[in-house]
């Protein structure tokens, strides 16, 4: 999502290598990795679409291995990339990439698309983006391609054993309910009712993901939406996080945890794992110096107050040292901030990962 706080967290599907020190080349033993969601986890699908929600021009990607933009809303790697890296796995390709064929299918796929949300009317200003129901349809299509490659039974097993990451929800607030004063959804729903509606729709999405074979799903809540540079520029007079957007996150996240618990109880297994994105991000937002950041208010790339107005472009202000900034652009964290988040996912306590962290998942599954 180009101007999206889904840039800040909401929900994605990840699949990881079966062996922690695994090979970089896909193998029969390597676990697949699937990613669903918005700009926080999009690694280039929107490059293939006619939309303004794109990160395909400099200075995006300035600190990536190629130093070129790839479609990731980051100065370098994003959260799915770092998860793959931590596990020694090959990075998943965008589903729309023409390179995703043959043995590359064994690695998994990234279906995420910047600008989308739980609701179909979220991100309508971006026009041509891959809404979540379409991402799930692409997941079905992917499985047919995989079946043609390795056979139906092997394909089903590979999907069942994969790790999935899904990030949704932030855009449903920033690019829908609060997009403009008196938006359609804000006139239709009071905030608590809107959150309940979002959660009921998200339940259906997660249930469908399970029906399509996902059995290890990390679901991220939304981050501190009121603290991103875009919202500080629009809503804050003194640099404090916007209380209304923080309230929205505070209503959404606990109810998301509740439905994940309910789904696991219904299934009879811990399929869905809750990732407390709000807590993971809020740690460095509230105390940036403790994490080695000079600022958690000003974006590295942008213009206007807090560099939070408009898009990050070649004409924008650009900080010389991205590692000292928590935010890359108006909505998205820097690679270094993403690494802090992934570290919480890998080894965090139940405060951050419930009912278990990613290292525990990998150890349990390796023992089976």
What average pLDDT does range 345-358 have in this prediction? 97
Of these residues, 6, 38, 329, 344, which one is catalytic?
329
Is the model's pLDDT at 5 over the cut of 60? no
For 170-218, the pLDDT digits (tens) are: 999 999 999 999 999 999 999 999 999 999 999 999 999 999 999 999 9
Buried b (16+ CB within 10 A) or exposed e, 33-70: bbbbbbbbbbbbbbbbbebebbbbeebbbbbbeeeebb
Contact between residue 35 and residue 110 where contact means Cβ atoms under 8 Å apart? yes
What average pLDDT does range 103-108 have in this prediction? 95
Structure confidence at residue 139 as a pLDDT band (50, 70, 90): very high
DSSP state, residue 27: -
Is the model's pLDDT at 21 over the cut of 80? no
For 51-86, the pLDDT digits (tens) are: 999 999 999 999 999 999 999 999 999 999 999 987
Instruction: Decide which of 17 and 272 is more confident.
Output: 272
Instruction: Find tokens 């940036």 and name the residue.
Output: 288
Contact between residue 219 and residue 274 where contact means Cβ atoms under 8 Å apart? yes
What average pLDDT does range 119-143 have in this prediction? 97
Distance CA 87, CA 90 (A): 9
Contact between residue 60 and residue 77 where contact means Cβ atoms under 8 Å apart? no
Is the model's pLDDT at 24 over the cut of 70? no
What average pLDDT does range 85-114 have in this prediction? 94
For 141-179, the pLDDT digits (tens) are: 999 999 999 999 999 999 999 999 999 999 999 999 999
Is the CA virtual torsion 64, 67, 72, 76 positive or negative?
A: positive
Is the model's pLDDT at 48 over the cut of 80? yes
Pick from 166, 364, 116: which is nearest to 275 by CA? 166
pLDDT of residue 87: 76
Of these residues, 6, 39, 274, 296, which one is catalytic?
39
pLDDT of residue 253: 98
Secondary structure class of 293 (helix, strand, coil): coil
Contact between residue 121 and residue 189 where contact means Cβ atoms under 8 Å apart? no
Is the model's pLDDT at 237 over the cut of 80? yes
H or E segment and range at residue 3 = none
Q: Look at 19-33, 59-73, 204-218, 332-346 and tell me which has the smallest mean pLDDT.
A: 19-33
Q: Is 321 a catalytic site residue?
A: no
Contact between residue 30 and residue 97 where contact means Cβ atoms under 8 Å apart? no
Q: Is 332 a catalytic site residue?
A: yes
Angle formed by the axes of helices 335-347 and 277-286, nearest 10°:
130
Phi, psi of 256, rounded to the nearest 5 degrees: -65, -45
For 77-92, the pLDDT digits (tens) are: 999 999 998 777 899 9
Distance CA 37, CA 222 (A): 12
Q: Is 281 a catalytic site residue?
A: no
pLDDT of residue 161: 94
Distance CA 284, CA 279 (A): 9
Instruction: Give percent above pLDDT 90 in the chain.
Output: 88
Mean of the per-residue pLDDT values of the chain: 92
């Amino acid at each position: 999502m180009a101007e999206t706080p889904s840039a800040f967290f909401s929900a994605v599907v990840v699949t990881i290598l079966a062996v922690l020190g695994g090979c970089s080349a896909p193998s029969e033993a390597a676990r697949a990795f699937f990613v669903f969601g918005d700009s926080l986890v999009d690694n280039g699908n929107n490059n293939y679409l006619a939309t303004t929600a794109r990160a395909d021009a400099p200075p995006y990607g300035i600190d990536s291995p190629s130093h070129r933009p790839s479609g990731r809303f980051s100065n370098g790697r994003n959260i799915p990339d770092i998860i793959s890296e931590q596990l020694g796995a090959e990075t998943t390709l965008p589903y729309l990439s023409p390179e995703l064929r043959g043995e590359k299918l064994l690695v998994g796929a990234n279906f995420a698309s910047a600008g989308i949300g739980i609701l179909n009317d979220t991100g309508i200003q971006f026009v041509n983006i891959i809404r979540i129901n379409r991402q799930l349809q692409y997941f079905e299509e992917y499985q047919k391609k995989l079946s043609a490659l390795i056979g139906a039974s092997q394909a089903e097993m590979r999907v069942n054993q994969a790790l999935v990451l899904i990030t949704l929800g932030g855009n449903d607030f920033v690019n829908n309910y609060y997009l403009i004063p008196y938006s359609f959804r804000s006139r239709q729903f009071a905030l608590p009712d809107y959150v309940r509606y979002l959660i009921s729709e998200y339940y259906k999405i997660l249930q469908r993901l399970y029906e399509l074979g996902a059995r290890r799903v990390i679901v991220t809540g939304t981050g501190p939406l009121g603290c991103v540079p875009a919202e500080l520029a629009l809503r804050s007079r003194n640099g404090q996080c916007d209380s209304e957007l923080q309230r929205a996150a505070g209503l959404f996240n606990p109810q998301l945890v509740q439905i994940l618990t309910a789904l696991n109880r219904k299934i009879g297994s811990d399929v869905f794992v809750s990732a407390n994105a709000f807590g993971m991000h809020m740690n460095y937002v509230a105390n940036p110096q403790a994490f080695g950041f000079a600022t958690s208010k000003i974006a590295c790339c942008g213009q206007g107050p807090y560099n939070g107005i408009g898009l990050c472009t070649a004409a924008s202000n650009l900080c010389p040292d991205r590692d000292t900034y928590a935010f890359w652009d108006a909505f998205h964290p820097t690679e270094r901030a993403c690494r802090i988040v992934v570290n919480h996912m890998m080894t965090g306590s139940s405060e951050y990962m419930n009912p278990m962290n990613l290292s525990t998942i990998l150890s349990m599954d390796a023992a089976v």
